[in-house]
Amino acid sequence: MIKKPRIGWLGAGVMGASMAMHLVRAGYDLFIFSRTREKAKALESAGAIWKDSPAEVSKSSDVVFSILGFPEDVKSVLLGEKGVIKGIKSSSIVVDMTTSSPELAVRIESLMKSKNVLSIDAPVSGGDIGARNASLAVMCGGAKEGYDQILPILGVLGSDVEWFGSAGAGQRTKMSNQILIASTMIGTVESLLYAERANLDLQKVITLLGNGAASSWSLSQLGPRMVKEDWEPGFFIKHFIKDIGIALEDASRMGLQLKGLELAGQFYNEAKAMNFEEKGTQALFQVLRALNKS
């Protein structure tokens, strides 16, 4: 029997905790660190082993995964004084699943290469539902050799896994995803607010439109949350604002103007101004309601 690699896991937030639990249940030895230990309690109870820093996690692991909030968190956890790079062993693999900057992914690869460590950027799409159901889409960039080695692990976390090229390619694929979702969410909330103002049954509208040309993940998965007035995060508005900024900055480097994304960004920033940044993206429905009070 081929021995399973020992896995390090950094981040136990809305998505990370569910993803790590799949690996524990699949029989992997898991070493974990999170800034808030309380969030890792269920994982510890299931058999994950707590470590006191990212460096300590990396010392015990063959493959180290991170899924964090912002690029600044990635820099600190992977490259900081007590970061992964301080403890990582030669021939290990680092996999950052945070939605982050393509430039940072290239920098991480370069620094890890100096330690004889392979680096993969592997952001995901599917939100908390995809994380719980292990049905995430996983978009990978970086060393193909490393991708091939970790593919069985990624298969525990997601149903659609693909390699797109060199370091940063995974992040750029995720930016393509976020550009599409940003505008789709605005169409979703405008459609449902119109239906609400017309006194239509919103759940019937969602079900019917979801079976036609207007079908989308945002409508089918987040529409029912809007109907239930459930604004809790499957994906934080503050994180989407971060992603829009990354996409616009990278597009500018390519000489692209993304006018639709710029307009969408204004709407997401309205949500921040109304103190919805800690809520899920479905709370954009509340923002549009507030902007259209009669």
Q: Which residues are known to be catalytic?
A: 174
Q: How far apart are CA 145 and CA 293, in angstroms?
A: 55
Q: How far apart are CA 51 and CA 48, in angstroms?
A: 10
- Report residue 274 as tokens: 């109304």
Q: How far apart are CA 30 and CA 47, in angstroms?
A: 8
Write the CB contacts of 260 (distance below 8 Å, at least 6 apart in sequence).
Answer: 182, 183
Q: How far apart are CA 157 and CA 161, in angstroms?
A: 9
User: Phi/psi of residue 73, each to 5°?
Assistant: -65, -40
